[in-house]
Structure 1
């Protein structure tokens, strides 16, 4: 074992020397000195900040009322030239009620390979929570989101965020809403990377195009 590793382990042992063997992490309250949210914002301003930061990350942001959502999804899918769209099992049926009849609705199937998913033009999902301060959308595999891979392989992701219920100001506030045992995908803009010369390339390990729809009020087909 390296001397460096021995030094690190020795420090850990010294730090834990007075900890009872049967003590669990959840038995000890840890004071968190960081701010839970930065600034005092109204709900409307929090949603505005989310929209600004999403756009800053090159996501395409749309804001509509609940009744307008089906028609907007129809227009966005048509504008993208989509002939097929992946549909999570719990996606509210009203969301795609206005879709073109020739559009193929592809269910989320466990047997589908990455090659099969790559052949689908778009995917429509909901989300678990959206974070205003970071412009981040979080998915946790809920019924209206489907499995992680269906939002990583198709090139075009349309994500619906219910406003204001699913919008929080900060990462700590988002973590309070998320179950740690669920599979989580944190998305800040479309997939992108840069080479050594800082040339930006999008769509390398996820959708090249991310469109986020902020929907005010209860959406069609919800509850």
Structure 2
């Protein structure tokens, strides 16, 4: 038995896995009589404002302008970019930069950045959520390279947190992105790029 198997065996002994039906029933009993929506109408301006508050660069582009905007973002930081193999090809048509589809983990550190889509976004908090499904690639692709360009479709932007969570599968690995990776010490000296990309660009397609 490996060390991993032994650790999992001990966890299972302390907190046994419950049947899926029991978990679903327990989830359904959660009281949700709280206010679920704080914003109505077009929330894209709010989303863009909140994303910019995190020191990310955000632009609204028409569907026909995505390829040009992507090319501009990549040209500003030359190098090779990792992309998921199922990223819509029209998004990176004429990108100008070398694209590495589904790069290996070993290759990630040598990339200038990554281009991905997302699963959902939250206007209230300026947060983008990846569940590493279609057009998103594995979690490492969005965490290792120094520059992350995320393309968000207008219909993916939810007004508030409850609305966004209802669009997600809780069993998938979720990565919440609120601006470039950053931390600060007790003196409040901000350092970016410690736990993930130092630079975040967001294109909102509407």
TM-score interval for Structure 1 and Structure 2 normalised by the shorter chain: 0.7 to 0.9
* Aligned equivalents of 1:158, 1:52: Cα separation in 2: 17
- Report if aligned partners of 2:105, 2:140 keep a CA contact under 8 Å in 1: no
* Aligned equivalents of 1:199, 1:161: Cα separation in 2: 31
Corresponding residue number in structure 2 for 1:33: 33
Corresponding residue number in structure 2 for 1:70: 67
* Length, aligned pairs only: 184
Normalising by structure 2, we get a TM-score of 0.85
Corresponding residue number in structure 2 for 1:24: 22
Query: 72, 76, 79: which is aligned to 2:76?
Result: 79
Residues 44-67 of structure 1, C-alpha deviations (whole Å, 9 max, x = no match): 2x1111011000111100111011
Corresponding residue number in structure 2 for 1:48: 45
Q: Secondary structure at the match of 2:191?
A: strand
2:95 is the counterpart of 1:99: yes
* Higher mean displacement: 149-158 or 25-34: 25-34
Corresponding residue number in structure 1 for 2:16: none
Corresponding residue number in structure 1 for 2:204: 214
Corresponding residue number in structure 2 for 1:174: 164
- Report how far residue 143 of structure 1 moved: 2.3
- Report how far residue 83 of structure 1 moved: 1.8
Query: 158, 170, 175: which is aligned to 1:185?
Result: 175
- Report how far residue 27 of structure 1 moved: 3.1
Corresponding residue number in structure 2 for 1:59: 56
Corresponding residue number in structure 1 for 2:15: none
Q: Secondary structure at the match of 1:133?
A: coil
- Report how far residue 180 of structure 1 moved: 1.1
Q: Provide the alpha-carbon RMSD of the alignment.
A: 1.4
In structure 1, runs of 5+ residues without a counterpart are 1-22, 217-223
* Aligned equivalents of 1:193, 1:83: Cα separation in 2: 26
